[in-house]
Structure 1
Amino acid sequence: MTHAALVIPVPALEPLVRPRMRRALPAFVFPDPSATHAHVSLTASIPEDLLGPALIDELATRFARVPACSFTFRPTLHRTPDGGSYLTPEPLDPLERLIASLPGLPPPPHPPHLTIEYSWARDPAPAGEQDLEAFLPLTVRAERAELNWYERQNCRTLASFSFRDPRS
């Protein structure tokens, strides 16, 4: 399960996602409390042999040309066939275009989404865990992408890439 992935972090939903992540996959919780688990994936697992300075330089150049954009999460929870749950950002077009512009990287297996609950961790939420309704609807501004490394007890952000501010 060790892998890297390119994601758009969604910090505003971190209080909703981190406790669920801690319950579902405690070995994959980032030790850095400022790291963001709530995200929209831009790639599937990136093979380790693709990681390195050349990829990071290419991504930094590419994302510097990508305009920051906004999308909204509505309080409509979608279910996967195996019982997990996720939110769909609206509109999808800017994210789908961004994913399509990443040649050489594996696209995610599903349309852009933000995972809320993993199918294998559907236990009732513990008392005090944040409810979805407290956060949604929510419009967020995507201003950066992150290249994250996921490894048991060693998850971390390898690089962060700022998007171009379309107002400048």
Structure 2
Amino acid sequence: MTTDENAARRRLGAAQQATDPGDTPLVGYTVLQVPVPALETFVRGRFEHYDRAYVSPDPAFTHAHITALAPFLPAPDPAALDTVAAIAAAAEPITFTLRRLETFPNGIVYLAPEPADPFRALTEALVAAFPQCPPYGGEFPDVVPHLTLDQLSADVSVASTRDALGDTVPVTCVADRVDLAWYQPERSRVLASFALG
């Protein structure tokens, strides 16, 4: 076990025990996500626009990401962390391009990574190891790897999102890790990182 893994487990314990001043447990959840630093400025800006409570003060936290599995276990134990580390180690770093904007039926505007299959394979491996954690709670039958950018509205369209991105895309990136992120108002942060390959 590495020093980083020990530190991650301490942070996980602290996250699970966090309470507010009234001793009411604070609600949070974990996500296994692949950070995409190249889009961080844009995506963090959208977090600041929509919900500042989820803007993380943790410099290791990357708001721009491609979800590998969410929600993940609420309290991953050491064996679960070791399993995630092994799955990540068995996957190669992923070189991918972000250029194509798409929308989901619910109006989410996203960038589709190309190729998508390595991300899909990572999710499939995680789901096989953690069948109690279906992607998005089983709400969507087909997992579509994506990087969320915005939500369609009277002020937001695919065209306006493309314009706002400017020359940020197209961009070629290398995914080299999976982060275990904790999402909680005012307390979002990275709990652990697992290298790909």
- TM class by smaller structure: 0.7 to 0.9
| Aligned-residue offset at 1:86 | 0.7
Q: Which amino acid aligns with 1:147?
A: L
Equivalent residue in structure 2 for 1:79, among 70, 93, 103 = 103
Partners of 1:85 and 1:148 lie apart in 2 by 22
Partners of 1:97 and 1:163 lie apart in 2 by 13
- Alignment of structure 1 residues 1-168 onto 2, 5 Å: 2-49=28-75, 51-74=76-99, 76-102=100-126, 103=128, 104=130, 105-108=133-136, 109=140, 110-118=143-151, 131-164=164-197
| Aligned-residue offset at 1:14 | 0.3
RMSD between aligned residues:
2.2
| Aligned-residue offset at 1:23 | 1.1
Q: Which amino acid aligns with 1:23?
A: H
Deviation string 1:134-168 (CA, Å, 9 cap, x unpaired) is 2111111010000101011111111100111xxxx
Partners of 1:121 and 1:160 lie apart in 2 by 38
Q: Which amino acid aligns with 1:81?
A: P
Identity, % of aligned positions: 38
Partners of 2:156 and 2:51 lie apart in 1 by 13
Q: Which amino acid aligns with 2:106?
A: D
| Aligned-residue offset at 1:120 | 7.5
SS at match of 1:153: coil
For the 8 Å contact 1:10–1:40, the answer to whether it is kept is: yes
Q: Which amino acid aligns with 1:145?
A: V
Q: 1:123 and 1:97, CA in 2 relative to 1: closer, same or farther beyond 3 A?
A: closer
Query: Normalization by structure 2: what TM-score?
Result: 0.72
Q: 1:34 and 1:100, CA in 2 relative to 1: closer, same or farther beyond 3 A?
A: closer
Segment of structure 1 superposing worse, 90-99 or 28-37: 28-37
Structure 2 residue runs without a partner (length 5+): 1-26, 158-162
SS at match of 1:147: strand
Aligned length: 157
| Aligned-residue offset at 1:131 | 2.5
Partners of 1:18 and 1:121 lie apart in 2 by 21
| Aligned-residue offset at 1:123 | 6.4
Structure 1 residue runs without a partner (length 5+): 125-129
SS at match of 1:148: strand
Query: Normalization by structure 1: what TM-score?
Result: 0.84
Structure 1 or 2: more helix by fraction: 2
Partners of 2:84 and 2:178 lie apart in 1 by 9
